[in-house]
Amino acid sequence: MTTNKTNLQELAHKLDDSIGKTRSATETVDDISTELLQLVDEMNNLQNEENLRIYHRDWHRHLRILAKLLYHASNDLVEGTKESHAVSEVMFDEIVKKEK
């Protein structure tokens, strides 16, 4: 196996890994969006102030959890995107620029 082919295989594995990380983070963000929409519906459907006080603590906990998940998922998206971009640039150099 040539060095060029080995290098391309390594790059392909790195690209696959970073795309997988990005896909997973995207699914997490989508799940967070669904949870937030359900929480908003639940909050909007309360009729009286007494129920509002009862559920406030639960909603606050949900929002803290979702905020932390969103923070980490956003970081994973940024990291995965940067990694994919870096690998794609190297692959472009290996494949396209070397052909010239």
4-18 pLDDT per residue, tens: 778 888 999 999 999
For CA atoms 34, 37, 41, 42, give the dihedral sign.
positive
Largest CA distance in the chain: 73
pTM (predicted TM-score): 0.76
16-70 pLDDT per residue, tens: 999 999 999 999 999 999 999 999 998 888 877 777 878 888 899 999 999 999 9
Asked whether 15 and 91 are in contact (CB, 8 A), the reply is: yes
What six digits make up the tokens of 74? 């956003």
pLDDT at 3: 58
What six digits make up the tokens of 93? 């150099």
SS3 45: coil
pLDDT higher than 80, residue 99: no
